[in-house]
Chain A
Amino acid sequence: MAVLLASCAVIDQKQPDEPQQIIETSTHSAWRLSDSERRSVSSNRAVAQLLTQADNLIAVENFAQATDKLERLVRIEPQFAQAWSRLAWMALKNGDAERSRQLAQRSNSYSRDNNQLTLLNWHFIKNAGELLHNNDIIQQAEKMITNLGGR
């Protein structure tokens, strides 16, 4: 877990063209929105609001309520990979490794245009594999991380 958090927990730098509240509360750099995600969020204020609220709750480690916000979000926008990634991370933080792995896979099924997010999700999967003591999962994740140019 420590390895994962060290590798991914890069606090975001502000980017002027992104919604301010999302940048400020994002924990991982890969949770920055890609161009298409930004378009999706800007065209749907409900998604933007719920994502912001979830990130604010994640920032204060209120994972139960953040999960509720994100579940509401994916009811509205089921293919919003960023939400699934956050759910995966919180499941990992809660020690629910198998659930985290599945949620990260779900995020990856929608994150094709966001390499950084896909990479982050594979880190989650690798970490879940470590918690599960499952070498197959770890090796598969390491292979994907290498293919995606990560470490």
Chain B
Amino acid sequence: MGTKSRHKTRSNNRKTVAGKARPKQTATRPRRPYIKALLVFLVVGLVYLAYLDVKIISKFEGRIWQLPARVYARPLELYEGMSLKPEQLLVELETLNYSDDSSGTLQPGQFHRSYSRFDIVTRGFEYWDGEEHSQAIRLEIAGGKIARLDDLITAEPIPLVRFDPAYLTGIFPRHGEDRELVRLEEVPAELIAMLVLIEDRRFFQHIGVDLKSIARAFVANIKAGRTVQGGSTITQQLVKNLFLTPNQNLWRKANEAVMAVLLELHYSKQKILETYLNEIYLGQDQERAIHGFGLASLYYFGKPLQQLSLPETALLVGMLKGASYYNPVRNPERAKQRRDVVLATVHEQGVLSDEQFRNLTDAAVETTHHVKRERYPAYLDLVKRQLQSTYDAEDLNSEGLRIFTTFDPYVQHQLENAIVKVTPQLGGSDTLQAAAIVVSPNNGEVLAVVGDRQPDYPGFNRALDIRRHIGSLIKPAIYLSALKQSSKYTLATIIDDSRLRILGDDKKIWQPENYDLEYHGEVLVYEALLKSYNIPAVRIGLDVGLGEIEKTIRQLGNQSPLPPHPSMTLGAVDMSPFDVASIYQTFAANGFHSPLRSVIAVLDKEGQALKRYPLDVAREVDPDVVALINHTMLGIAQQGTARQLANDLDIKVAGKTGTSDDLRDSWFAGFSGDAVAVVWMGYDDNSSTGLTGSSGAMRIWSKLMSSISSKSFEVLMPANVSMTWVDQESGFLSGKGCENAIELPFIKGSEPVLKAECSEDTPSGWFRNLFGG
């Protein structure tokens, strides 16, 4: 093998030598490889050009950008007579990024406060049910209500004002890009003129690359010995951003130039400019990348492009040189210098007078106050989960959907405040956790959610995901099950609170005890629930049947299966605050359950409604019976286990404390006329908190309700329910003036028949009644 190879080599060498002996051949042979190479180069070049061309066209003809879904809070609506405190309005305006401006005429997105009077100019907004125009309003707050709501210009009363919704966050693609698309005709001419002046003066003349500009930059850079000037046109910058990497090498620059020319061949200057205006990177808001002038204008100045002042426009144009370096939020001085350079260039063109230029450059750089965006993780987690039933992740982070939620900024703010302030006061360790949810009683709209004692922490969402024993929170459902049988049970039925021993299926004896470890003898159903006695709850629960209790809980709104074990009657069932809120909303709405919802509507990027989530109601439990329980839960917050609330709050509320075995979980669930709130406290390792429902969770609940609620809860007494005086000890009929008499609601026909010694009919009764004895 080796020998043959050597022979072959020699033979080849001979041919070469022989070839040199024939000059005619040697004159033509070297040309062919060059031609071939040239041809190959041309073909490859053409194929590559075609490839680039296809790449450009497919990008421009298809969807250029993935647009994140934008998530909004519920729109603030104001009307005369509405409960509103000045500090509440300030929180709302701050969340909306409205700025306090007392310098002159208010612009959309600005307000001015003078004591309890607010002058505000709202921003217009396109809602799913029509456009809301910008309005200039004046409102006066007095006594915790809006006393007047007038047009700021005409002073005519305005019935109702709907603000633009606060932007909460986006559901971003992995790269985190966000943008607010603008059409070229929406962009002010000043911005375009300034952009062209600063970035690419011959934009409207060149064919994608500008040789003069490149030559000028080359000379300038050679003179400086470093890169001081770029020669890239706007088209080249766009190509670089859309198709290429930021690497500075010759191959990339050549590609950029070729693609820029191709782009100009296919598309108009207007289309290229519009794409550039929407594509260009203009800063970072944590994980979110600010792209395009439309979003940059909203982000830095809180207003649309059309309302930018000349210095603000100059600042944005100046930022193109280095969006991070000249970021006006982080580096206002540096940003001002850059802005002034841009204004100086404009001044050189003779557009600005010397005086105008001085005035404009004297002004400091002012940007909108920025609310921290990565907030409300527990609430946004709920929104995403509820959307996942309809939309897949790809739709959510690429289609530019607009998601309108039921989020209430002020309620969320107060809930976070209550948890952050109260939790450390309760004496537990730093790992004592808290979670809570607030919903609207009348429609199940979720107003606020916190899933951690540090509300901004985006970890385990306890409000939705913990499964903990709910303790006595279950008792209203147990008594509701019993009171459905109105011929057997009423609030005045006597129950035996004495030792109880139950033989379980596992042959073990279970002996429930009251919290105070005492027995109270014969007590009314009303008192048993009021004071949260355990033994009567177990007796009644076992009498009506565990299956019946589970059915009632399901009718109240719980969807999870519950274990049919006797200890269920003392709340040995696992639920989350969300589950509990679902049940208590039904009580708060007098028996009408509305599934808890955090999303009202989803719009596409053009503003067309894709899906509405309409208000849903279902009445599965008899409102007559619910009225009896609600009356008792009002009593709990007056004289029962939650009586401290009567001192803490100015309004009447209803609710129930809950404490699990060994004080592992501290719960409070309750409602006023305008809010249902459920608070849980406990340790993640299930160790004892040392807190009862009233000494722990209820303190957060109380602080929350004192700040967000202004409406007392009132039992909506159905026509079939009437109030009757009964004797507290015997449950017999009594009279208003009688000793130990208490007025309780009864489903008509179920009132006690037997009379106590003192009743309306007895002389002592009517005599006392007459003289108020």
Contacts and interface: CB of A to CB of B under 8 A. Distances in A.
B159 A49 contact: yes
B79 A109 contact: no
Contact of A87 (B129, B157, B615): B615
A69 B79 contact: no
A74 B442 contact: yes
B81 A44 contact: yes
Contacts of A68: 128-129, 612
B79 A102 contact: no
A109 B718 contact: yes
A50 B160 contact: yes
A38 interface: no
Interface in A1-51: 43-46, 48-50
A75 interface: yes
A95 interface: no
B443 A74 contact: yes
Interface string B434-446: 0000001111000
A67 B617 contact: no
B614 interface: yes
B623 interface: yes
Given A46-B79, A65-B129, A71 B159 contact: no
Interface in A90-121: 99, 102-103, 105-106, 109-110, 112
Contacts of A64: 129, 609, 612
Given A68-B129, A72-B77, A109 B443 contact: no
Nearest to B75: A72
Nearest to B160: A46
A76 interface: yes
B375 interface: no
A78 interface: yes
A65 B130 contact: yes
Contacts of B82: 46, 76
B590 interface: yes
Counting chain B CB atoms within 10 Å of each CB, which of A45, A69, A99 scores highest?
A: A45
B159 A46 contact: yes
Interface string B76-119: 01011110000000000000000000000000000000000000
A109 B716 contact: yes
Nearest to A79: B716
Contact of B440 (A43, A75, A106): A75
A74 B445 CA distance: 12
Contacts of A106: 592, 617, 619
A103 B590 CA distance: 14
Given A50-B160, A69-B129, A102-B617, A76 B612 contact: no
A44 B79 contact: yes
Contacts of B129: 64-65, 68-69
A118 B32 CA distance: 100
A46 B612 CA distance: 23
B754 interface: no
A72 B440 CA distance: 13
Nearest to B593: A102
A45 B592 contact: no
A78 B442 contact: yes
B443 A103 contact: no
Interface residues of A, number: 28
**Which applies to chain B's interface (DSSP): helix, strand, loop or mixed?**
loop
Contacts of B160: 45-46, 49-50
B159 A102 contact: no
A107 B615 CA distance: 14
B66 to A, nearest CB: 29
A72 B162 CA distance: 10
A49 B77 CA distance: 13
Interface in B708-727: 716, 718-719
Contacts of B502: none
Contacts of B590: 109
Contacts of B440: 75
Contact of B614 (A46, A71, A72, A78): A71
Contacts of B618: 102
A109 B592 contact: yes
Counting chain A CB atoms within 10 Å of each CB, which of B79, B81, B159, B160 scores highest?
A: B160
Contacts of A50: 160
B248 to A, nearest CB: 54
A102 B128 CA distance: 25
B238 to A, nearest CB: 41
A49 B615 CA distance: 20
B616 interface: yes
B619 A48 contact: no
Contact of A74 (B79, B591, B612, B615): B615
Contacts of B81: 43-44
Interface string B623-644: 1000000000000000000000
Given A74-B442, A112-B719, A67 B619 contact: no
B79 to A, nearest CB: 3
Contacts of B442: 74-75, 78
A65 B614 CA distance: 11
A69 B77 CA distance: 12
Nearest to A73: B160
A48 B81 CA distance: 13
Contacts of A102: 592, 616-619
Given A43-B81, A65-B130, A68-B129, A103 B159 contact: no
A73 to B, nearest CB: 10
Interface string B593-613: 000000000000000010010
Contacts of B619: 102, 105-106
B717 to A, nearest CB: 9
Contacts of A46: 77, 79-80, 82, 159-160
A48 B592 contact: no
Nearest to B620: A102
A51 to B, nearest CB: 11
A65 B129 CA distance: 6
Contact of B617 (A48, A49, A79, A103): A103
CB-based closest 8 A-B pairs: A46-B79, A45-B159, A78-B442, A46-B160, A68-B129, A49-B159, A102-B617, A65-B129
Given A74-B615, A106-B619, 14 more contacts: A45-B80, A45-B160, A46-B159, A46-B160, A64-B129, A67-B614, A75-B77, A75-B443, A78-B442, A78-B443, A87-B615, A99-B617, A102-B619, A109-B590
Interface of A: 43-46, 48-50, 64-65, 67-69, 71-72, 74-76, 78-79, 87, 99, 102-103, 105-106, 109-110, 112
21 contacts: A43-B81, A44-B79, A45-B79, A45-B159, A46-B80, A46-B160, A49-B160, A64-B609, A67-B614, A69-B129, A71-B443, A71-B614, A72-B77, A74-B443, A78-B441, A79-B716, A102-B618, A105-B592, A105-B619, A106-B592, A106-B619
